[in-house]
Structure 1
Amino acid sequence: HQYYCYSAYHQDCHVPRAPAPGEGEGTSWVCRQCVFAIATKRGGALKKGPYARAMLGMKLSLPYGLKGLDWDAGHLSNRQQSYCYCGGPGEWNLKMLQCRSCLQWFHEACTQCLSKPLLYGDRFYEFECCVCRGGPEKVRRLQLRWVDVAHLVLYHLSVCCKKKYFDFDREILPFTSENWDSLLLGELSDTPKGERSSKLLSALNSHKDRFISGREIKKRKCLFGLHARIPPPVEPVTEDGAPT
């Protein structure tokens, strides 16, 4: 038994294998389901303390067969709806990271490596899961361009607000400014506040393949939306995290 849900497990039925009676004397054993229930958090799981350590141990193995999953052509979703370390359902564009090695998708709430919460559709990370690494996760932020920032912000707002068009001065720029540090923009993060507006506006106006302005639909010119509500594409990267 363990003290949280009080379920009993055969040793070999739990992943990873449960300790035998008498093993780890003096410590209470907590099952995988309860460890995840306690440790998972919006923005990223616990990183310190006994439950964080227990979670890392659980994450070295998956509670399902990865090779048995039936994936779509883009490796974005599987028929079994089994993802992450937890084995639960998910949607790749809603705060999930894809492991560069096994290509499985992992929930933000189950990862312990993020310094900032994810935005919807943010795939500008190079991530390796605990299973593939045999230890703690590894993550690296990729370098964004202004067109990527504009696309990411518009996509995130469209998911949150469930509408297509956003006012540049009232919505797009304020959101970008308020979340400037969370965007982890690397080289762009040093851009002076006074220049951010013109850089964003230039990206929105010069990439008509991605963005549509209010002027084109006979509305206010300061309105912008995505031609298609899809996350920004991520280009192949070099070792320094910059697009090729």
Structure 2
Amino acid sequence: MHPTHPASSLDHPAPHIETVTIVGGTGALGLGLATRWAHAGVHVRIGSRRADAAKATAANLPGASGGENAEMIKDAPVVVVAVPFSAHIETIRSIADVIQPGQLLIDTTAPMVPGRRGLRPITPWAGSAAEQAQDLLPGGVSVVSALQTVSAATLRDTARHLDEDVLLCGDKKVDKEAAAALIARIPGLRAIDCGPLDLSGVCERMTALLIGVNRRYKTHAGIRLTGLSTPKLEQPA
């Protein structure tokens, strides 16, 4: 039996989220998240610039639907952006007129560029990708930074057990609790409240380091924090 641990370090019950839209759901990380959430019973909406690609991806996932980003974002309580940094600004700007106040955006983007010895982190003008998204989105849309350090390959392989932490940054605790509740639908992931959104750059930069470690050791290691007390928010049955 694989090891288990509490689902979140946040200490208040959060809404049981039943629907999530993934912008970039046909990409590596987006598809990995979609696969895990769909198999956990979450209604996944796959968003893409190409409706045909989104629908083809959704057809292989239980209960999922697919379409153009604008269509999939409408009325979704949570929108996850899972695109490479090179497409980040364009993607956020393209959905800024569609996403509405009260919706939550989870940004998974890690700003990286190829370097002489592998990927290296870079710092966007806003300080982090998540802060960049917050600056480009309309007021009333909250952003939480999360999921950068979880391996896309491991997520897609549902036979592999997860046992790692997800680092959350955001300015409102209620939004981090909602994000943690959604993350908790994936068995083996524990959400950790790492503070306000202006710390998200620290978490984003860890991604390049972790990718380098995984390449050197030929594995799919994740992040794990030790010594945390048992939180009250438990993973749904």
Query: What TM-score do you get using the length of structure 2 for normalisation?
Result: 0.25
**Structure whose alpha-carbon radius of gyration is higher:** 1
Query: What TM-score do you get using the length of structure 1 for normalisation?
Result: 0.25
Give the structure with the higher percent strand.
2
